[in-house]
């Protein structure tokens, strides 16, 4: 599967991923310490919903445009505010969609550090421009994000690959192990598409084994029953060492998303393993 950020920006999976991400970052803040955050597959940082990729996919129509039209309830308010802020210098309509780098930095303080990894030169240039206007210290690195997880000690890592490589799931689990070797208390969030149940279960078994039995929170937004493995049927956020209080917020996000935009038979599931 090739999950190119620009093609899918602002779709239902982004809404799920980013609403949970904002809740997670909020839950990390009460510790009152400087945070180092690594974004392993950062992308461009912010996306033009009028670009050619979006014209072909039309996925934002069943995502951020529904969000900004008021179709989703209060659990999405932080994301709604973030989208409004990203568009504040354009107009009130959602023409731009903030990716994970923009959202993470908007939740950080001046004592924190954001490290965004992006190997594609054109996309990395866009990321550098997006990060250039922030007061939060940022670094944009032309490195493989999986390797970066084991090169710098981080408090929080987001792993959000395009899933175009056969070994992306294995690499994600290995990156967690490498990050834990530098900081055993690191919190890691891994986004994954939901196509079929066995792929997710296999990944969780591998991750649990490699990560040494740490607690893992799984938030699933199944937009339709997982019957056709050729479709992206939903979205999952997998959080290693989830902060206290995240469960209810993550479930509220997934449940609201499925209820508003899902098909018959869709389901929200939030559980720990």
Q: What is the DSSP string of 9-31?
A: TTSHHHHHHHHHHHHHHHHHGGG
User: Which pLDDT score is estimated for 2?
Assistant: 42
Strand partners, 239: 189, 217
The mean per-residue pLDDT over the stretch 51-79 comes to 78
User: Which pLDDT score is estimated for 65?
Assistant: 86
pTM (predicted TM-score):
0.93
Q: Locate the domains of the chain by residue range.
A: 5-27+34-272
Instruction: Label residue 151 by pLDDT band (50, 70, 90).
Output: confident
User: Which pLDDT score is estimated for 6?
Assistant: 65
Continuous segment of H or E residues that includes residue 171:
helix 168-182
pLDDT tens by residue, 192-210: 999 998 999 999 999 999 9
Task: Retrieve residue 40's tokens.
Answer: 């392993």
Largest CA distance in the chain: 48
Dihedrals phi, psi of 192, to nearest 5 degrees: -145, 140
Instruction: Label residue 88 by pLDDT band (50, 70, 90).
Output: confident
Higher pLDDT, 272 or 57: 272
pLDDT at 162 exceeding the cut of 50: yes
pLDDT at 43 exceeding the cut of 80: yes
Instruction: Label residue 7 by pLDDT band (50, 70, 90).
Output: low
Does the domain formed by 5-27+34-272 have CATH 2.60.40.1840?
no
For residues 115 and 42, the answer to whether their CB atoms sit within 8 Å is: no
Distance CA 258, CA 52 (A): 28
Task: Retrieve residue 1's tokens.
Answer: 């599967």
């Amino acid at each position: 599967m090739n999950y190119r950020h620009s093609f899918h920006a602002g779709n239902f999976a982004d809404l799920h991923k980013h609403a949970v991400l904002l809740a997670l970052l909020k839950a990390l803040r009460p510790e009152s310490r400087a945070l180092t955050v690594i974004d392993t597959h950062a992308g461009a940082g912010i996306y033009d919903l009028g670009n050619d990729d979006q014209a072909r996919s039309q996925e934002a129509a069943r995502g951020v445009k529904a969000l900004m039209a008021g179709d989703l309830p209060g659990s999405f308010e932080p994301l709604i505010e973030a989208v409004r802020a990203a568009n504040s210098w354009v107009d009130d309509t959602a023409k731009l969609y903030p990716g994970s780098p923009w959202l993470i930095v908007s939740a950080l303080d001046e004592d924190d550090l954001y490290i965004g990894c992006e190997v594609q030169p054109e996309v990395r240039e866009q990321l550098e421009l997006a990060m250039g206007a922030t007061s939060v210290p940022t670094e944009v690195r032309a490195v493989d994000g999986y390797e970066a997880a084991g090169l710098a000690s981080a408090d929080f890592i987001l792993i959000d690959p395009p899933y175009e490589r056969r070994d992306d799931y294995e690499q994600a689990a290995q990156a967690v192990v490498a990050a834990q070797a530098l900081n055993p208390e690191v919190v890691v969030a891994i986004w994954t598409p939901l196509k079929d149940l066995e792929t997710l279960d296999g990944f969780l078994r591998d991750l649990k084994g490699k990560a040494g039995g740490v607690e893992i929170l799984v938030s699933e937004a199944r937009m339709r029953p997982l019957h056709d493995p050729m479709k992206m049927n939903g979205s999952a956020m997998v959080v290693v060492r989830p902060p206290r209080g995240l469960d209810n917020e993550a479930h509220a996000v997934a449940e609201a998303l499925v209820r508003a935009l899902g098909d018959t038979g869709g389901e929200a599931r939030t559980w720990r393993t």
